[in-house]
Amino acid sequence: MLRRTFRLIVVTVALAALALVVPAVAQPKGIQLFNGKDLSGWSHFLVDPKVPAAAVWSVQDGVLVCKGEPLGYLYTNADYTSFRLIVEWRWAPGAAAKLGRVPNSGVLMRVNGEPKPRGVPRAYEAQLQAGNAGDLYGFWGMPLDGAADRKREQKGHELLGDMVGFKKTEGAEKPEGEWNTYDITLDGQSLVVLVNGKKVNEATGAIVMPGRIALQSEGGEIHFRRVEIWPVQTR
């Protein structure tokens, strides 16, 4: 009995010593792209250069407020290729009534090339238009493949160029004024989106390239309180 106990002690001590010698595997960490205080790390583009950024985007009580006019986007100064992106958003109470139509915005990814005069850049989009969150698009020749019965395609669109998109499989948004969560994984050629924890769309065939992440000003006041990016292993 004593011999068995001694062996157990020796093994325990050896394992403890090994744990001190072998470094722990570093776990990936999320990066807050929006710090809740100001717009550090972001730049902007507006179709009307006379309008200052502060007239469109502001930070109020830890929330990024976008007034929605004029058309444009707020974009990260850094480029990202493959990632998991968490975005929390809500439409301002009364946004639809004030606008007189469905409010619109979008989360743009792999934004590249020069800004377009009409305001929509070459990029992939996870749609934020009220009622259509979860739709996916590629603008200005950015390719995507997916289910044929949900595909939408147009050549030479005046705002979007050669455009391809895929409608969501089902709606999962909360009512106007309530917070929603986008969970977007753009991993190599694959693009998958969840709205409020429910998988609503996926596409393949994306161009693998670095680009900016952007939040659109596209009509209607929209709020963001979390914009967080996580690394993924590129396929």
The DSSP secondary-structure symbol of 139 reads -
Neighbours of 31 (CB within 10 A): 14
Compute the mean pLDDT over every residue in the chain, rounded to the nearest whole number.
90
Neighbours of 59 (CB within 10 A): 15
CA dist 60 and 62 (Å) reads 5
Neighbours of 131 (CB within 10 A): 13
- Give mean pLDDT, residues 192-208: 98
The answer on pLDDT for 52 being more than 90 is: yes
The answer on pLDDT for 7 being more than 70 is: no
Q: How far is CA 175 from CA 48, 73, 90, in A?
A: 31, 24, 9
Question: Over the stretch 24-48, which tens digit does the pLDDT of each residue have?
Answer: 545 568 999 999 999 999 999 999 9
Q: What is the pLDDT of residue 97?
A: 87
Which domains are delineated in the chain?
27-231 (2.60.120.560)
User: Could you tell me the pLDDT band of residue 233, with boundaries at 50, 70 and 90?
Assistant: low
pTM for the model: 0.87
- Give mean pLDDT, residues 173-186: 97
H-type helices in the chain, by residue range?
2-21, 95-99
The answer on pLDDT for 218 being more than 80 is: yes
Beta strands, E only, the chain: 31-32, 42-46, 57-60, 63-66, 72-76, 83-91, 106-112, 122-127, 136-138, 151-157, 161-166, 180-187, 190-195, 198-203, 212-217, 222-231
Higher pLDDT, 4 or 43: 43
Question: Over the stretch 131-164, which tens digit does the pLDDT of each residue have?
Answer: 999 999 999 999 999 999 999 999 999 999 999 9
The answer on pLDDT for 127 being more than 60 is: yes
What percentage of the chain carries pLDDT values higher than 90?
83
- Give mean pLDDT, residues 84-96: 95
Q: What is the pLDDT of residue 28?
A: 65
CA dist 31 and 37 (Å) reads 15
User: Could you tell me the pLDDT band of residue 4, with boundaries at 50, 70 and 90?
Assistant: low
Whether cis (ω within 30° of 0) applies to the bond prior to 70 is yes
